[in-house]
Every structure is written in C-alpha cells, then in structure tokens.
Amino acid sequence: MAFCILPIEYVANYLTDDRDLCNFALTCQSTYAAVNTDGSGIWRQRFASTYDQMPGQSSNDLKRKYQRWRRVLRKGAIFSFGHEAQERRCLEILRELIIESYGEASSTCEDFQTSLNIVELESFMRRTNLVHDLFLNGGFRTGIGSDQLFLTVQLLFAHCSLNLAFNAISYAGDLSQKAVYEDNKMEPIFLGKSQGEVNVEWLLHVVNFFKYHMTCKEICTLLPIYEDLEDKEKPKAWKKKLERGVKKLGKSWKGSYGKETRADLYTLKTWIDAECYDYHVAYLDIRDLDNIRRNDAGKGFYMDNIDVDGGFQTMQLDFSTKASTPWPDSFERHLHSIPTLTKIQGRSTTPSSLRFEASGYDRESFFGSGSIHELPPQHGIPGWQRLTLMKYFADEQGAYEAGSDWCYEGCVLPGGQIILGRWWRPEMDPRDDTAYCGPFIFWNVADDEEEQQLVGSEAGDDDGAFVPYADDEVW
C-alpha cells in the first residue's frame, strides 16, 4: 500500500547507504525494476552526488562503475610497494578517478568548481597510508622495487604530502637526501632514448626531501615560513581535466631548492661567500655532499643549514614570447630544451613546445628564459610536461651579469600546479659525480583572475613579449 502512495524513486533516494538501496531493490520485481533498469535515474543520481558527472554513459554503466569504485576504495589497502593484489586494485581505481576527474569537461572549461573525484581521492589519501608513508619501507636502491603506478599516484598527490593538515610523518629523509643530490648521470629526471619517460621515483624523493624540510617539526627548517603562508599560497591539486599536449602554466609561483655550499672547499669563484647566502634554501656542506654521494643509501642524514629570512623564492612566468624569438645557442648547449622525436599516440613525432620568460626574487631580482614541451602519458595518466629554464641576474645597470646563470630542468606534474626538478651550474657537467647541483620545487599560487586568463591557452599563441637579453652574443 505504501508503494501506491510514495514513488519508489523517492524511497530509494531516501536510503543513503548503498547496501540498504541494494536490499530495497530485492524487495520485489517492481522495486528491482525501478532501481536497476537502464531507464532508472537512481544510480545515475547517486553517481553524480559522489563523482564528477560522465554524460553519455548509461545508468547501468554508471551503476557498475559506482559500485566497483566504492567497494574497492571503501576496503582500501595497506600500501607497501604496490605489488599486492588489493594494492593493485586500489591503484587501478585511483588512476581511473584521476583520469576522469572533471568528467568530460574540456581543460579549457571556465568552470573551476571543485572536482568531486578529487574530493574523493583526497579523502582516500587521508584515511590510508598511501601518501602518509612515503618510502617507509625504503625505496632507493634497497633491492625491492616499487610498482611504478604506485609511485606515480603518490607523486600526483604531492600536494597532500605537503599538506600540514594531513599530519603525515616524514620517513626516509636520509634516502631522499642521497637521491636528490645525485648527479644527472646517476639519477636522470627523464629516461629512455627520446627522454620521454619520467623518473617518477626520483621526483618523489624530491617531494619527500621538501616534505622533510617544510612539514617536519623535529628539524623545523622551512616549517615556520611554510606555516605562515595562506592556504591559497600552498601547493594544490590540478584544477581542470588532465589532457595531453603542451599547456601554458600559471603566472605566479613560490618555491625553494636544496643547495650545498662550496665556499670552504672550492675556489672556483667568489659568487658564494658568507655575506651572500641565499635565503629560503637548504644548505649542505660540500664535504657532506661528497659523503652522501659516495656512501650507500641509509648511512645517515646530513643536516642542511637553513636561512629562511625573507620567505620563499618567488617567480613569475610570461608565455607571450614569440616563437620566433632567438634561443641562445649557449642555453641549448646546457639545457637541451629543443624536444627530440618521441612516440606520441603510437607514432614518432616532435612534441609541441612553448617558450616563456621569467622574473622573480631570490635575495635579489632575477630573470630567466625557458621552454616547456609535452611528454607522453606516464603509466596511463596524461598531462606531463618537461621544463627547462636558464636563470640569471642583472648588474646595477640592468645588463646581464656574467657568471650569474643557473640551469634548471624539471617536470611539470599533470595539471600544471607543481614543478619538481634539478638545478646546476652551467660551467659544470650535471652528469659528473662532483657536479654542483641539487633539487628544487615550485608550486603555482595563481589567483582566480590568472586562472581565467589561462582558459584556452594552447601552443601556437604568438603575441610577443619583452625578452631581457638583447642577443646571443652576451652568452
């Protein structure tokens, strides 16, 4: 009699527990048909209230996907190296949620509302140990290799690892310290013949290294200035659908880098002395660096010296540089920015790229010129880009200051919110085991207005921009 008064859909939607809804559907043929037939909107509505909408899929398809995702993620897993069956099931679902975040909306969509998929993903990160226990069981030359999808998912949620609200314990600081200070020959950022494969494990060590300095109360190095940042100034998740191709990045960035001081061992130049130490930098004595590189992993943590006066480094990017603007040969000799043939969508092609100019503040004002180009999907996830940058300073007259340049090479994580990589001095070979190099991290702090300016930004814009160097001769 009650069914004659209340629509079955009303009763079904009142049942918030999925198990109650399934049991209700088994009450009789009428309830089963009302809940489970393809014409029913009950499971579609339930899917849309939990995950990003996926137009074009039938109710039954959404029901199966919803139930599979909920069943696997509710059970969760105790993550170790990503090889166990339940770990693999969770990782596969997490990858699906990542790829399908923001539903079928294009990356040019102007609606920057929160993705329900990301809300669900971050909830999963909070209640499991996936990002809480980075390298808890080792991971750098320990003899046990971690699954690459496992590492990739951890890397994509670097913003969670660096989120103070997660209260994540920092592990394996010594392993990550050794990894990030290795030279490019030992730990290249990009692998393979065409340099199209990302070394996700090394990048994750960079995340863990800065997690140690930015969130760990025991060493309390970058933590005080990191705590002082507003929420909008801290690392965040991607804000639009992940797609292939080269994408312009946001304008405003903050960051830091790990650095060893050579003043007490080398006399190459006097560009580093007791009076000009950079702030917001992790300093490491060059003798400790030598020990780190020569000793086996896990032999101890060498304390970085930190001067945090002034806050984090800031940087602004300008992508209006004309494609025809000359790229100095000396830049290319050190950075190898021009992309080579690589396999994209099953065929060999030269990846599209974008030029940009940079400016910022790092104890004093600096300039830079760089490039980004697309990379193939990594372990099924699209949206990766390679970044190269030559950073340099100007003299009192505003002209290029000889010997002031620094090379940067990094990977832009999918979504364009975080850049991780390595810096080095251009007069040194980054592949040499005595190379003066170290890790860096930048994260986007763009406001809503800047995000709107990025809508529809693709390769090929040619508006022109001021370039702070006049010609290639000065280089």
Q: Please provide the distance, in angstroms rounded to a whole number, between the alpha carbons at the two ends of the chain.
A: 87
Q: Rounded distance, CA 120 to CA 273, Å?
A: 49
Enter the tokens of residue 360. Answer: 């910022």
pLDDT of residue 46: 83
The letter for the amino acid at 395 is D
CA-to-CA separations, 430 to 187, 203, 318, 382, 457, in angstroms, rounded: 10, 17, 27, 28, 33
358 within 8 A of 317, measured Cβ to Cβ: yes
Neighbours of 452 (CB within 10 A): 11
Chain segment 57-69, per-residue pLDDT in tens: 888 888 889 889 9
Q: Which of 354-358, 373-377, 450-454 has the lowest mean pLDDT?
A: 450-454
Enter the tokens of residue 278. Answer: 């950079």
Q: Rounded distance, CA 88 to CA 99, Å?
A: 17
Neighbours of 341 (CB within 10 A): 13
CA dihedral 378, 189, 249, 327 (to 10 degrees): -120
pLDDT of residue 268: 26
What are the b/e assignments for 140-156, b being 16+ CB within 10 Å? beeeeebbebbbbbbbb
Q: Is the pLDDT of residue 297 over 80?
A: no
CA-to-CA separations, 434 to 148, 203, 268, 431, in angstroms, rounded: 29, 21, 13, 9
pLDDT of residue 460: 43
pLDDT average, residue stretch 322-328: 74
CA-to-CA separations, 317 to 109, 324, 394, 475, in angstroms, rounded: 22, 18, 17, 21
Q: Is the pLDDT of residue 466 over 70?
A: no
Assign 3-class secondary structure to 283-300. EEEHHHHHHHHHCCCCCC
pLDDT of residue 471: 43
SS3 state at 276: coil
DSSP 156: H
- Which comes out higher in pLDDT, residue 102 or 104? 102
Q: Is the pLDDT of residue 236 over 50?
A: yes
The dihedral of CA 158, 161, 163, 166: what is its sign?
positive
Q: Is the pLDDT of residue 27 over 80?
A: no
DSSP 229: S
Q: Which pairs from 421-424 meet CB under 8 Å and 24+ separation?
A: 421/189, 421/203, 421/206, 421/387, 422/180, 422/184, 422/189, 423/257, 423/391, 424/184
pLDDT of residue 300: 66
Q: Residue 142 pairs with which residues in a beta bridge?
A: none
Query: Structure pTM?
Result: 0.84
pLDDT average, residue stretch 318-326: 79
Could you please report the per-residue DSSP string of 371-426? EEEE---BTTB---EEEEEEEEEB-TTSSB-TT--EEEEEEEPTTSSEEEEEEE-T
Chain segment 105-133, per-residue pLDDT in tens: 544 444 557 899 999 999 999 999 999 88
pLDDT band at residue 327 using 50, 70 and 90 as cut-offs: confident
pLDDT of residue 220: 78
Q: Rounded distance, CA 391 to CA 395, Å?
A: 14
Q: Is the pLDDT of residue 461 over 90?
A: no
pLDDT of residue 276: 35
- Residue 317 CA, distance from chain mean position: 17
pLDDT of residue 459: 44
pLDDT of residue 277: 34
SS3 state at 5: helix
Chain segment 250-295, per-residue pLDDT in tens: 999 999 987 655 443 332 222 233 333 334 455 566 666 667 777 6
What are the b/e assignments for 72-106, b being 16+ CB within 10 Å? bbeeebebbbbeeeebebbbebbbbbbbbbbbebe
Q: Helices marked H in 216-276 — which ranges?
A: 223-227
Q: In which element (H, E) is residue 342 found?
A: strand 342-344
Q: Which of 226-235, 382-391, 397-406, 462-471 has the lowest mean pLDDT?
A: 462-471
SS3 state at 72: helix
359 burial class (0-12, 13-18, 19+ CB within 10 angstroms)?
middle
pLDDT band at residue 165 using 50, 70 and 90 as cut-offs: very high
pLDDT band at residue 149 using 50, 70 and 90 as cut-offs: very high
Nearest to 475 by CA among 356, 339, 369, 354: 369
Q: Is the pLDDT of residue 452 over 70?
A: no
Q: Is the pLDDT of residue 475 over 50?
A: no
pLDDT average, residue stretch 211-216: 91
Q: What percent of the chain has pLDDT over 70?
A: 68
pLDDT band at residue 192 using 50, 70 and 90 as cut-offs: confident
The rounded mean pLDDT for the chain is: 79
- Which comes out higher in pLDDT, residue 201 or 284? 201
pLDDT of residue 15: 57
Q: Is the pLDDT of residue 349 over 80?
A: no
Q: Rounded distance, CA 342 to CA 335, Å?
A: 18
Chain segment 37-51, per-residue pLDDT in tens: 666 677 788 888 899
Pairing of strands 418-424, 281-285: unpaired
pLDDT of residue 427: 79
pLDDT of residue 274: 31
